[in-house]
Structure 1
Amino acid sequence: MMKALLTGHTRGLGAAVAAQLLARGIPVLGLARGINRELESRFGAALRQVELDLTDTSAVTRWLAGDALRAFVADCDTVLLINNAGTVQPVGPLAMQEPAAIARAVALNVAAPMMLAAALATAASASERRILHVSSGAGRNAYPGWSVYCATKAALDHHARAVVLDKNDALRICSLAPGVIDTGMQAEIRASSLEQFPLRERFDALKRDGALTAPDDGAARLVDYLLSDSFGRDPVADLRG
């Protein structure tokens, strides 16, 4: 049996990934600050949801110390972990960044994915574990105004590279850039001032020219890759080719 643990399943790419998994008969345990009522009504008990603030590392630690994760994966042959939740904030040069916002970004974008990955490695007795970090081209290229976002996504990339060196045959991991998806994060980027993000007009043009990938399409490609034989062959990958 295959099951999936997914963060940030209530909106955007995460909601689309959850729908893809559930439609393929893969039960999902979703972790987010809220509940996805639409998916709950469509898929019923196949979707289990936990309201958890992933920016709160103490809350994540307490949840992982319980039995919920172990119970969810107890009967699995294959367990999937999709670390999707993330934030682009704070946007702006160093002098405009609030320390508290930096701390929240690092907790959500870096600490939570690494904590969940480590917990899954010990909680699951499954013969195969697959961990997918949702990364970004920003992890591989530096952009003005995005120093925190770039650094946190680069951390996920390097985490995957290092985990591969542990040579755990039962575990596959990949930090995957899914492409530019038409989500709420893109709307946040377009709402930035040029002072905060000098490259904003490039993202305005992507939306205007219809160059953004629809969440359903991006999710389908992501899940196809996650379930493919080639997943984990490269610790860092990009669906844009």
Structure 2
Amino acid sequence: MNILIITGGSKGIGKALAEKYTSEKYHVFSIARSLSNSEKFTEIKADLSAIKEVPKALKSIFNQIDKERISSITLLNNAGRLGEISTLENLDPEDIAKSIQLNTTTPLVLSNLFIKETQNWNCKKQIINISSGAATKPYEGWSVYCTSKAALDMTTKAIAAEQSEIENGVKCVAIYPGVVDTNMQNQIRKTNKADFKNVQRFKDLKENNELYSSEFVAEKIYSIDIENQLQSGDIIDIRNF
């Protein structure tokens, strides 16, 4: 049995990934604040920006898994938020904290618990982090998002380094999905230019039909995954594959 645990699987890229892996006979568990009411995969409702809910959600999943029957298990840290778009001095401190929690702290905590729970399992084990090109390119108005994704990339590298000398350690990679037609893009296009100087670029991408669909991204990530194209610690952009 192949298991996928994904965060934010109720909509956007997350839902497309959950449905893709399900179609490939994976048993998929989604942890998300809202439910898609899909009959294709198992959904656990939890607010991952509330730290106390994170261990409870993952524990409920592991309680449903028979580790003796598993050939692979993957944690896919997909859930994230852009947060308020404006220069740093104009942001609400609580919104800053919520974005860092969901984009950085939650993946760290989930990875911590995932590695601990599976450390004696003899199957294939991996963590896939959905990051962003914003991790390497500073955008005015996205200071928190850029920072949180850069931190997620370093999390990927650090986990890979720590697990490299462990027998049957956890593989960890990060993937940039490109610019995808999701609710986040709707939010970006509605931003005032005073708060986000690059807003016209994203409007043009939509107008010119240059946004990826969530389904295309899911297909691409699944292909990269099962073809084992990445080494642990790799951080890649799907546009290069």
TM-score between the two structures when normalised by the length of structure 2? 0.92
- What is residue 170 of structure 1 aligned with on the other side? 169
Aligned to 1:69: 62
- Asked whether 1:149 is paired with 2:145, we answer yes
Shift of 1:127: 2.0
Identical aligned pairs, as a percentage? 27
Q: Report what 1:133 is aligned to.
A: 129
Per-residue deviation at 1:48? 1.3
Name the counterpart of 2:76.
Answer: 82
The answer on 1:213 being equivalent to 2:212 is yes
Tell whether 2:94 aligns with 1:95. Answer: no
Change (3 A) 1:96 1:204: same
Gap runs ≥5 in structure 2: none
**1:122 equivalent in alignment to 2:121:** no
Question: Relative to structure 1, is the Cα distance of residues 70 and 226 closer, same or farther in structure 2, using a 3 angstrom cutoff?
Answer: farther
Greater mean alpha carbon deviation, residues 197-206 or residues 55-64: 55-64
- Is this contact kept in 1: 2:8–2:32, CA < 8 A? yes
User: Aligned to 2:52, what secondary structure does the other structure show?
Assistant: helix
Within the alignment, does 1:26 sit opposite 2:26 as a pair?
A: yes
Tell me how far 1:234 sits from its aligned partner. Answer: 4.7
Partner secondary structure for residue 65 of structure 2: helix
Paired residues of 1:129 and 1:170 also in contact (CA < 8 A): yes
The alpha carbon displacement at 1:73 in A equals: 5.8
Match of 1:159, as an amino acid?
Answer: T
- Partner AA of 2:130 in structure 1: V
Report if the CA contact (8 A) 1:70-1:123 is conserved. no
Deviation at 1:69, TM superposition (A): 2.2
Separation of aligned partners in 2, 1:36 and 1:72: 22
The residue number in structure 2 matching 1:107 is 101
Q: How far apart, CA to CA, are the structure 1 residues paired with 2:116 and 2:100?
A: 23
Taking structure 1 as the reference length, what is the TM-score of the superposition? 0.92
Structure 2 residue 13 is the aligned partner of structure 1 residue 13: yes
Post-superposition offset of 1:115: 1.1
Structure 1: segments with no counterpart, 5+ residues: none
Is 1:202 the counterpart of 2:195? The answer is no
Give the match for residue 178 of structure 2: 179
Residue 232 of structure 1, CA deviation: 3.1
Tell me the distance in 2 between the aligned counterparts of 1:32 and 1:6: 9
Deviating runs (4+, > 3 A) in structure 1?
61-64
What RMSD, in angstroms, separates the aligned Cα atoms of the two structures?
1.5
Report if the CA contact (8 A) 1:110-1:156 is conserved.
yes
What is the CA–CA distance in structure 2 between the aligned matches of 1:141 and 1:226, rounded to whole Å? Answer: 25
3-state SS of paired residue (2:81): coil
Preserved contact between residue 157 and residue 235 of structure 1 (Cα < 8 Å) = no
Preserved contact between residue 3 and residue 73 of structure 1 (Cα < 8 Å): no
Q: Whole-Å Cα distance in 2 between the matches of residues 186 and 179 of structure 1?
A: 12
Cα separation, partners in 2 of 1:93 and 1:197, compared to 1, 3 Å = same
8 A contact 2:29–2:61 mirrored in 1: no
Aligned to 1:49: 43
Q: How far apart in 2 are the matches of 1:79 and 1:52?
A: 21
